[in-house]
């Protein structure tokens, strides 16, 4: 299921060195992002019109474009890029029908770029780039945008494998040196409810953290059927959530939101993980090579455990969120903070105006305008790596140490991106894909 292609951006990390030596500490450190320093009411340092490029025109890309254009009245969407023309056209047509932003959509035909290399042309036309493709492409696109001196919003997860995470971290350091603003789409970090809960937990509202559990138990992920005439690469790109190299698996593609909250509360990330996982409902060619359930036990340096439960199976019990058990009580954002007797001692009372997807973009563009610090790369990359660690543990059936996982040279990406190139996993004569087998599959 993997190849062992070396990554030219490889450099060795130890957990201790990372904590002591990281320079990406602004706008939301690993220890936790309080609200960024930007204020929408403050006078701008930079009040010129800003040009936006959208890279990735699926549903999440369309949503990011809407939120961005609503965050600042002096913006123009001037370029769009996607691997598929139909995706680009659908998003463009939908954006031009939204009354409050349609005048800000100014993408002529010559600024619509299709294919694997279209991102380069789109980036060149913009001041701010929205990176909303599947995570396999994030390291490449992020590096191109920062090298071109662009501010970047990028969706989670940030990579599909450890070499990609290391490339993200290195590019984030370059963004810091260039004073470019970088935001990661883990919107809970900008949600007043989560901010309030995390601050109170850190202040001791439930005592010492004993354990945490997070859940992402939902129905099946979106399935896209194969169409006649597609190359294998096009089919996998269309059905990207069912291939680990494109999606990074459900610990990254789904549960990362909740796992990131636990890392935020802990002010750290796990030192090791072991896990169970497999396919109880998914089978056959359509479902690629992903697992449909995981149980991951992460261990932090102080011995605290995070038990992470993920299931994407039709007709099963649903549950989501991050839950904390402390020596003096419990906490989760839905139910609030409770003491040992079960009495609620805090609950966030937010309103409809607290849309975290909008709030994150409001803060992003305010930081650009006021030139206040914002670089979410570090904690976004570390939470991405946490979920990849969990996937590695489940796929291998081994206890996997953080340092070994982060420094792994095993890439699960293809050697090149083109419609005729072979993806990392190929179907057999019956159309089935090789699925990771615990105890046999290499992950390091």
Domain that includes residue 165, residue range: 15-189+356-379
Tokens of 279: 């396919």
pLDDT score for 13: 47
Return mean pLDDT, the chain: 91
pLDDT score for 45: 78
Q: In whole angstroms, what separates CA 379 from the centre of its chain?
A: 11
Closest to 379 in 3D by CA, of 68, 16, 10, 27: 27
Scanning the structure block, which residue is given the tokens 């909740």? 258
Strand, coil or helix: 129? strand
**44 and 142 together in one domain:** yes
pLDDT score for 15: 45
In a domain, 110, yes or no: yes
d(CA 145, CA 55) in angstroms, rounded, equals 11
In a domain, 82, yes or no: yes
Give the total number of structural domains in the chain: 2
**149 and 239 together in one domain:** no
CATH code assigned at 288: 3.30.360.10
Contact 196, 348 (CB under 8 A): yes
In a domain, 6, yes or no: no
**203 and 329 together in one domain:** yes
Buried b (16+ CB within 10 A) or exposed e, 42-56: eeeeeeeebbbbbbb
pLDDT score for 18: 44
**155-178 tens-digit pLDDT:** 999 999 999 999 999 999 999 999
**134 and 201 together in one domain:** no
In a domain, 437, yes or no: no
**176-226 tens-digit pLDDT:** 999 999 999 999 999 999 999 999 999 999 999 999 999 999 999 999 999
d(CA 307, CA 275) in angstroms, rounded, equals 9
**248 and 336 together in one domain:** yes
pLDDT score for 354: 86
Mean pLDDT of successive 10-residue segments in the chain (444 residues)? 38 44 39 51 80 97 98 96 98 98 98 98 98 98 98 98 98 98 98 97 97 97 94 97 98 98 97 97 93 98 97 97 98 96 94 87 96 97 98 98 97 93 95 96 91
Task: Count Cα atoms within 13 angstroms, Cβ side, for 98.
Answer: 16
d(CA 198, CA 193) in angstroms, rounded, equals 9
**135-156 tens-digit pLDDT:** 999 999 999 999 999 999 999 9
Buried b (16+ CB within 10 A) or exposed e, 14-32: ebeebeeebebebbbbbbb
CATH code assigned at 61: 3.40.50.720
pLDDT score for 37: 53
**26 and 143 together in one domain:** yes
């Amino acid at each position: 299921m993997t190849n062992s292609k070396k990554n030219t951006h490889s450099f060795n990390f130890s957990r201790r060195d990372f904590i002591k030596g990281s320079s990406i500490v602004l706008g939301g450190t690993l220890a936790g992002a309080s609200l960024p320093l930007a204020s929408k009411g403050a006078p701008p340092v930079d009040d010129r019109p800003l040009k936006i490029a959208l890279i990735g025109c699926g549903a999440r890309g369309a949503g990011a474009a809407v939120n961005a254009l609503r965050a600042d009245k002096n913006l123009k969407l001037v370029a769009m890029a996607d691997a598929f023309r139909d995706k680009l056209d659908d998003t463009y047509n939908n954006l031009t029908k939204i009354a409050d932003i349609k005048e800000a959509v100014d993408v002529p035909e010559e600024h619509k770029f299709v294919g694997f290399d279209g991102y380069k042309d789109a980036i060149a036309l913009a001041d701010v780039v929205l990176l909303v493709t599947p995570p396999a492409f994030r390291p490449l696109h992020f590096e191109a945008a920062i090298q071109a001196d662009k501010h970047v919003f990028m969706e989670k997860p940030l990579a599909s494998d450890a070499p990609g995470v290391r490339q993200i971290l290195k590019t984030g350091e370059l963004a810091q040196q260039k004073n470019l603003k970088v935001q990661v789409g883990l919107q809970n970090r900008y949600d007043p409810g989560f901010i309030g809960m995390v601050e109170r937990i850190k202040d001791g509202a439930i005592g010492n953290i004993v354990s945490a559990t997070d859940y992402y138990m939902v129905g099946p992920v979106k399935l896209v059927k194969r169409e006649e005439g597609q190359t294998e690469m096009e089919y996998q790109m269309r059905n990207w959530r069912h291939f680990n190299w494109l999606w990074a698996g459900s610990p990254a593609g789904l549960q990362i939101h909740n796992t990131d909250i636990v890392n935020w509360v802990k002010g750290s990330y796990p030192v090791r993980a072991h896990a169970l996982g497999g396919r109880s409902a998914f089978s056959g060619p359509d479902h690629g090579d992903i697992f449909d359930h995981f149980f991951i036990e992460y261990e932090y340096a102080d011995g605290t455990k995070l038990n992470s439960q993920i299931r994407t199976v039709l007709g099963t019990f649903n549950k989501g969120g991050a839950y904390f058990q402390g020596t003096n009580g419990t906490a989760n954002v839905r139910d609030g903070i409770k003491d040992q007797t079960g009495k609620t001692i805090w609950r966030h009372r937010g309103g409809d105006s607290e849309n975290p997807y909008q709030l994150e973009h409001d803060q992003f563009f305010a930081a650009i305008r006021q030139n206040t610090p914002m670089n979410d790369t570090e904690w976004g990359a570390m939470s991405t790596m946490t979920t990849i660690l969990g996937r590695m543990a489940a796929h291998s059936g081994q206890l996997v140490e953080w340092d070994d996982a982060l420094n792994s040279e095993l890439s699960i990406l293809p050697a090149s991106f083109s419609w005729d190139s072979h993806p990392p996993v190929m179907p057999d004569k019956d159309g089935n894909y090789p699925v990771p087998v615990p105890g046999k599959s290499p992950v390091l």
